[in-house]
């Protein structure tokens, strides 16, 4: 199983005011809130943690059939790497391994329950996908879209 989430960083700046009172407390654990407030780029850290939670939740939801996205029940840990950001998301007794990449306009995260599968996941990202082909016919393992971006993983 695969999970994936993409965040259009420009749109996120416009659509969300994560700095408003109690926003972080509703979505992130105390340790995650500390990661946000101590990060050199707090905006990017918010969306990194959010996309990790979203990509792991997509797998968890398909596995369990539970449709209750409770962000604080998903716990993120990070292990930065020079080329990308590695992480883990835990929910109940399940652990999902994540790999996130930051680009000028977007942040993208993939997730899988098996660590060595991260290197095998094929990713296609499209910008401004208004008139896209019938991507569902390509049978992606997971689809994510936000703003100007569409991400398909196989």
User: Which CATH number fits the domain that encloses residue 39?
Assistant: 3.90.470.20
pLDDT at 130: 66
Q: Residue 53: in which H helix or E strand, if any?
A: helix 42-64
Q: Is the pLDDT of residue 67 over 90?
A: no
Question: Between vectors from CA 86 to CA 140 and to CA 19, what angle results, nearest 5°?
Answer: 95
Q: Confirm whether 109 is domain-assigned.
A: yes
Which residues constitute the domain of residue 71?
Answer: 3-118
Give CA–CA dist 25/5, Å, rounded.
Answer: 22
Would 154 be classed as within a structural domain?
no
pTM confidence score: 0.92
Categorize the per-residue pLDDT at 107 as very low, low, confident or very high, splitting at 50, 70 and 90. Answer: very high
Which two structure tokens, joined as six digits, stand for 36? 């946000």
The average pLDDT across 89-93 equals 94
Residue 127 within any structural domain of the chain: no
Is position 61 within any domain? yes
DSSP, collapsed to helix, strand or coil, labels residue 141 as coil
Position 145 in a domain: no
Q: Is residue 90 a part of any domain in this protein?
A: yes
């Amino acid at each position: 199983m695969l999970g994936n989430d993409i965040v259009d960083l420009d749109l996120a700046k416009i659509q969300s005011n994560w700095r408003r009172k109690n926003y972080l407390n509703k979505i992130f654990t105390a340790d995650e809130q500390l990661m946000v407030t101590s990060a050199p780029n707090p905006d990017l850290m918010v969306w990194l943690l959010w996309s990790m939670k979203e990509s792991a939740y997509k797998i968890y939801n398909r596995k369990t059939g539970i449709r209750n996205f409770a962000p604080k029940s998903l716990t993120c840990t990070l292990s930065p790497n020079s080329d990308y950001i590695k992480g883990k998301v835990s929910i109940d007794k399940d652990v999902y391994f994540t790999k996130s990449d930051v680009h000028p306009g977007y942040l993208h995260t993939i997730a899988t329950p098996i660590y060595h599968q991260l290197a095998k996941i094929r990713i296609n990202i499209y910008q401004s996908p208004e008139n896209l082909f019938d991507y569902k016919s390509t049978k992606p393992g997971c689809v994510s879209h936000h703003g100007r971006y569409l991400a398909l993983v196989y």
